[in-house]
Structure 1
Amino acid sequence: MLIHIGFGNIVNTAKIIAIVSPDSAPIKRLVQNSKEKGLAIDATQGRKTKSVLVMENSQVVLSALLPETIVGRMQEGTDVSEEK
């Protein structure tokens, strides 16, 4: 299933390992290391990062939506094909 993570960006929910807040030092290091390795995908459109999605393939996706919002969309089962 695909879900919107903000500003027209979409991810595959089957590939998400974790959705975390970017505030802790370990997550900040994870994001920085991913950026250095070219494994970070910035989907914030220039806004403040409010959640970090850790993906199966060692990539991290930065989103401007709160983790609770993304989880709520996953639990609702709202996929891209249903949103018009």
Structure 2
Amino acid sequence: MPKTATLTIQQWGNSLAVRIPAAIARSAHFEVGQEVEVTTDEIGVTVKPVGPRKLTLAEKLAKFDPATHGSEAMVTGRIGAEVV
């Protein structure tokens, strides 16, 4: 479900700024230092991430296919003096 917030535009030097609340930033998968694209249209401004976003752990696990990845992280035999 999309999150919404009513924010106030602030002065930041010669520019205008809006702080993105933490809950909305998390929902949009924004991170500190991430590049975003800002575009305008007839009714406002859109902020979108540049390039593909990082997957969450849940998304990575959902994409994991044991058949493709050999079902285990290490499918080798004994390396040292392990006791089995």
TM-score by length of 1: 0.22
Could you say which structure has the higher strand fraction?
1
For the pair shown, the structure with the greater C-alpha radius of gyration is 2
TM-score by length of 2: 0.22
Could you say which structure has the higher helix fraction?
1
